[in-house]
């Protein structure tokens, strides 16, 4: 029985988009205030989203090392961040793996691209609950007024074009 459960969990983790095996809070609706959070950084220390809400455009990437579509999407989000960071875009990766940071650090170090934005560890899924995340990847864009303007679940090649458009829109908010 244990073997069958292990096989089932492995298959669910490989689904695209990956089926998250945890409950979530209510998903923020477009135009709603973005929830703030403080979470531990993969690199050490803590990250507080609060000072950026209402000031910067924000891109949140909820992911796991076991989510194939998350890893396919990630370099696209890194490219978007690198193009718009000088215009005030803040990006944060939110890793939802439940084990310690050592495995996530090793995984990130082994990627064939560099993640240039901070990654927080949300192993208790407190950040995910604030954003109603139940399926991975989930990408959230917040405008400079602190409002959620885009909530995207899953990833297929080409989705990054819509995400980039929403980032541009977010950067123009409040002007």
Report pLDDT digits (tens) over 17-50.
Answer: 444 444 557 899 999 999 999 999 999 999 999 9
- pLDDT at residue 17 in the model: 44
pLDDT for residue 2: 45
Q: How far apart are CA 98 and CA 84, in angstroms?
A: 31
Domain region containing 150: 2-172
Give the span between the Cα atoms of 55 and 106, in whole angstroms.
Answer: 33
The CATH number of the domain holding residue 82 is: 3.40.30.10
Count of the separate structural domains present in the chain: 1
Mean pLDDT of 55-68: 97
What's the rounded Cα separation, in Å, for the pair 63 and 134? 11
């Amino acid at each position: 029985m244990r073997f069958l459960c292990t096989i089932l969990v492995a298959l669910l983790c490989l689904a695209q988009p990956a089926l998250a095996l945890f409950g979530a809070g209510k998903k923020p609706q477009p135009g709603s205030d973005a929830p703030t959070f403080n979470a531990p950084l993969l690199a050490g220390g803590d990250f507080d989203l609060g000072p950026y809400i209402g000031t910067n455009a924000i891109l949140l990437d909820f992911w796991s090392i076991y989510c194939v579509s998350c890893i396919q999407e990630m370099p696209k989000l890194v490219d978007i961040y690198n193009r718009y960071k000088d215009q005030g875009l803040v990006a944060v990766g939110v890793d939802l793996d439940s084990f310690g940071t050592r495995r996530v650090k090793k995984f990130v170090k082994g990627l064939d691209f560099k993640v240039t934005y901070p990654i927080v560890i949300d192993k208790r899924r407190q950040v995910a609950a604030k954003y109603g995340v139940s399926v991975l990847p989930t990408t959230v864009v917040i405008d400079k007024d602190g409002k959620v303007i885009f909530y995207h679940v899953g990833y297929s090649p080409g989705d990054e074009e819509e995400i980039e458009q929403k980032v541009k829109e977010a950067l123009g908010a409040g002007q």
